[in-house]
């Protein structure tokens, strides 16, 4: 009963590994370390360095560790990058996922948890969005993930695999015990960028557009704390193991904050009034997207613990300070 976590050295995957370990599960991590870090995986967890598109490596790993479930996090995740490099996104997120699903079925894996995204909805007509909303992704990133949802639906029908598709809204914050956080170099996500500006790790930041049809003109997003998100995966795993049918769930708190509101919270929590420039819109950004979360609460029994933007921002600040100390220590040892 081992769970394979692809992308387990990355931001969300490393929190999932902690969640699994805390629940007493057996885990193996596969990661190519393109954006993740070996140190983000606890020493007691078997680590396989490689690509989830490497068919022989996957077959061998599934057999060697007796894998019965896969939580598939490894992916490229930057919307504007997907606009510039669509074929790279379709290769990595879609074509390689097809091969992983095929290997999983051949290897007798029973349960598959897939990291999907709110980007499959595109720019919804109204919010919060439910899972039954029409799917109209506006970026190659969203499309690259939606195609995997479809493959899973069809493969599950044909081969009896059961899956949980989890559509993430905007993931932020860090492990409350300070064991993991968002460590990606050059991260582009709003809270990470704002926290870096507050700590003086960058001179300031930009707001990409204040001419959207929202309450203050900046984009509205639903920020979900990363350990709450990992817990949703654990709930999904228990549900599938308990015989639950394949399911697709939104992961979010059902309330939105604007970019300007998030920046205000970061300024308040950090106590630093960093420079903010208003710039033009960024390619591929929907105006507003907020999760309807009735299904995940009702069917998976998910109960979030950190639905508080001040808490999320404080965790992000603490983690960024931790990374800074790590860098300083590495530089003085060099
Ligand atoms: N954003 C911004 N400045 C930044 C980073 C992000 O104004 O430095 C905005 C971005 O345009 C979007 C929102 O913050 O409206 C959330 O963006 P992020 O990249 O965090 O997540 P996404 O919603 O694209 O997955």
pLDDT of residue 242: 98
Closest to 113 in 3D by CA, of 296, 333, 286, 275: 296
Per-residue pLDDT tens digits for 110-157: 999 999 999 999 999 999 999 999 999 989 999 999 999 999 999 999
pLDDT of residue 76: 95
pLDDT of residue 29: 98
Q: Are 237 and 113 in contact (CB under 8 A)?
A: yes
Per-residue pLDDT tens digits for 190-209: 999 999 999 999 999 999 99
> Per-residue pLDDT averaged across 36-56, rounded?
97
pLDDT of residue 316: 98
For ligand 1, atom 18, the nearest C-alpha belongs to: 189
> Per-residue pLDDT averaged across 57-77, rounded?
98
Encoding tokens for residue 147? Answer: 């195609």
For ligand 1, atom 23, the nearest C-alpha belongs to: 170
Identical fold, 2-172+224-251 and 190-219+255-326: no
Mark whether 141 is an active-site residue. Answer: yes
Residues 193 and 189: their CA atoms lie apart, in Å, by 6
pLDDT of residue 330: 86
Angle in degrees, 0-180, between the axes of helices 96-106 and 55-65, rounded to the nearest 10: 40
For ligand 1, atom 5, the nearest C-alpha belongs to: 190
Domain 2-172+224-251 indexed as CATH 3.30.1360.120: no
Instruction: Please tell me whether the peptide bond between 128 and the residue prior to it is cis, using omega within 30 degrees of 0.
Output: yes
Give the pLDDT band (50/70/90) at residue 79. confident
Looking at domain 190-219+255-326, which CATH architecture does it have?
Alpha-Beta Complex (3.90)
pLDDT of residue 334: 76
Residues 261 and 88: their CA atoms lie apart, in Å, by 34
* Gap from CA of 152 to ligand 1 centroid (Å): 29
* Gap from CA of 191 to ligand 1 centroid (Å): 8
* Gap from CA of 190 to ligand 1 centroid (Å): 5
pLDDT of residue 223: 98
pTM over 0.85: yes
Q: Using CB atoms within 10 A of its CB, is residue 277 exposed (0-12), middle (13-18) or buried (19+)?
A: exposed
pLDDT of residue 285: 87
**Residue 167 neighbours by CB under 8 Å, 6+ apart:** 116, 117, 118, 120, 121, 131, 248, 249, 250, 251, 291
pLDDT of residue 264: 98
> Per-residue pLDDT averaged across 12-17, rounded?
98
Q: Name the active-site residue from 89, 121, 141, 257.
A: 141
Sign of CA dihedral 244, 249, 255, 260: positive
Closest to 113 in 3D by CA, of 281, 295, 238: 238
> Collapsing DSSP states into helix, strand and coil, what is residue 139?
coil
Q: Domain-by-domain residue ranges, the chain?
A: 2-172+224-251, 190-219+255-326
Residues lining ligand 1, Cβ inside 6 A = 79, 170, 188-190, 193, 205-208, 219, 221, 259, 282, 285
pLDDT of residue 5: 98
Per-residue pLDDT tens digits for 245-272: 999 999 999 999 999 999 999 999 999 9
Per-residue pLDDT tens digits for 145-192: 999 999 999 999 999 999 999 999 999 999 999 999 999 878 889 999
For ligand 1, atom 19, the nearest C-alpha belongs to: 189
Beta-strand ranges (E) seen in 1-130 are 2-6, 26-31, 47-49, 67-72, 111-117
Q: Are 10 and 17 in contact (CB under 8 A)?
A: no
């Amino acid at each position: 009963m081992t769970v394979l976590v692809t992308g387990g050295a990355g931001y969300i995957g490393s929190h999932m590994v902690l969640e699994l370990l805390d629940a007493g599960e057996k885990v193996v991590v596969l990661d190519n370390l393109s954006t993740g870090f070996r140190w983000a995986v606890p020493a007691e967890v078997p680590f396989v360095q490689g690509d989830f598109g490497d068919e022989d490596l996957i077959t061998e790993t599934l057999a060697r560790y007796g894998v019965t479930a896969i939580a598939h996090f490894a992916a490229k995740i930057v919307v504007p990058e997907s606009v510039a490099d669509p074929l790279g996104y379709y290769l990595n997120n879609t074509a390689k996922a097809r091969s992983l699903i095929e290997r999983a079925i051949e290897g007798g894996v029973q349960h598959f948890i897939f990291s999907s995204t709110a980007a499959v909805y595109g720019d919804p007509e109204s919010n919060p969005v439910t899972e039954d909303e029409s799917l109209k992704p506006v970026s190659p990133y969203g499309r690259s993930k939606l195609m995997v949802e479809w493959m899973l639906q069809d493969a599950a029908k044909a081969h009896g695999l059961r899956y949980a598709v989890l559509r993430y809204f905007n993931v932020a914050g860090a492990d409350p015990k300070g064991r993991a956080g968002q460590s990606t170099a050059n991260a582009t996500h709003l809270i990470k960028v704002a926290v870096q500006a507050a700590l003086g790790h960058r001179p300031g930041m930009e707001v990409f557009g204040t001419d959207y049809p929202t309450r203050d003109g900046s984009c509205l997003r639903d920020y979900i704390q990363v350990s709450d998100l990992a817990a949703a995966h654990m709930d999904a795993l228990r549900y599938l193991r308990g015989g639950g049918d394949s399911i697709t769930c939104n992961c979010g708190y059902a309330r939105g904050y604007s970019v300007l509101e998030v920046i205000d919270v970061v300024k308040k929590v950090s106590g630093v009034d960093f420079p903010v420039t208003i710039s033009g819109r960024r390619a591929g950004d929907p105006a507003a997207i907020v999760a309807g979360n009735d299904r995940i609460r009702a069917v998976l029994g998910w109960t979030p613990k950190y639905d508080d933007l001040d808490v999320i921002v404080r965790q992000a600040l603490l983690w960024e300070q931790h990374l800074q100390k790590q860098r300083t220590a590495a530089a003085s040892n060099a």
